[in-house]
Amino acid sequence: MSDIVVEGRGLVRDYVTGGSLFGQKKAVRALKGIDFKVERGKTLAVVGESGCGKSTLARIITLIDPATEGQLLIEGQPVDINHGSITRKMRSAVQIVFQNPYGSLNPRQKVGQVLTEPLRLQGGVPEAERRRRAMAMLERVGLKAEHYNRFPHMFSGGQRQRIAIARALMLNPALLVLDEPVSALDLSVQAQVLNLLKDLQDEFNLTYVFISHDLSVVRYLADQVMVLWKGEVVEDASRDAIFSAPQHPYTQKLFAATPVADVDSIRTRVAARAAERARLAG
């Protein structure tokens, strides 16, 4: 039996704008009935041009915003954000990593506080244990336990994104929504963070919804690719099928317009990094 971690059934999202003293109210339908499913341990990439609805979908999946219509299921449980049916367990099951590692970390909080905060808010974990888990997580994402007492500004972009990933993992989520997680980073750093995401996925059997406009990164990470166009799914297929033979004219156009030469360079960097790790491990 397949084990579906997140499922959308007919998700619609309207934004109502205007409506000031003389302004007319206007509704924008950002999502027009989206269906998708992601199995445990797999990665669904969501691609499409700016404005197609990717961030709107990310906000619905991470329980930040409600869908106007349709149903979201997390680990088989229907979620209704408007009617308070969201349990603490559901909230901790889904975490998000944003594009901008500079903006997503509070500059006034030390890394230790950033990481222990979710556990503190959840309750039930003594302070010493929170600290121990945060230090272990820092090491797991390639940082050091002594970084616990430093502030975010003391880290590079790649290191900050590692901190954001560590924070997202503190509550043992089943699902991570990765909203352009490497697009603000230098190419060589991108490869390292992508490697980390792959390793963590294998280790914790994580499910990813990966929002990206970068097809070379999508090709490296995704199992399944969903193409959005003006709030609709125009294609949803396995990574290999979509890259070898995109079916929908929009997908063909999108893929043709995007240089995928970078795929090989990312692969080369990733392979070099894996060889380096193996060498260091003896």
Binding site for ligand ATP (CB under 6 A): 15, 17, 28, 30, 48, 50-56
Q: Which residue lies nearer to ligand ATP by CB, 28 or 245?
A: 28
Shortest distance, position 140 Cβ to ligand ATP, whole Å: 30
Select 39 or 65, whichever has its Cβ closest to ligand ATP.
65
> Which CB atom, from 229 or from 243, has the smaller least distance to ligand ATP?
229
Task: Tell me the C-alpha distance between 181 and 193, whole Å.
Answer: 9
DSSP track, 59-119: HHHTTSS--SEEEEEETTEEE-GGGT---HHHHHHEEEE-S-TTTSS-TTS-HHHHHHHHH
CB of 77 to ligand ATP, least distance (A): 25
* DSSP for 229-267, written as a single string: ETTEEEEEEEHHHHHH---SHHHHHHHHHS--THHHHHH
Q: Give the C-alpha separation, 47 to 113, whole Å.
A: 34
As measured in angstroms, the least distance from the Cβ of 11 to ligand ATP is 12
Work out how close the CB of 68 gets to ligand ATP at its nearest, in angstroms, rounded to a whole number.
12
Tokens coding 174: 């089943």
Sheet-wide strand order for 26-39: 26-39, 4-17, 69-74, 77-79
CB of 100 to ligand ATP, least distance (A): 12
Cα dihedral 171, 175, 181, 187, rounded to 10, equals 100
Q: Return the structure tokens found at 184.
A: 């603000």
Nearer to ligand ATP, 122 or 183 (CB): 183
Between 200 and 218, CB nearer to ligand ATP: 218
Q: Given the complex with ligand ATP, which of 57 and 115 has the nearer CB atom?
A: 57
Min dist. Cβ of residue 23 to ligand ATP (A)? 13
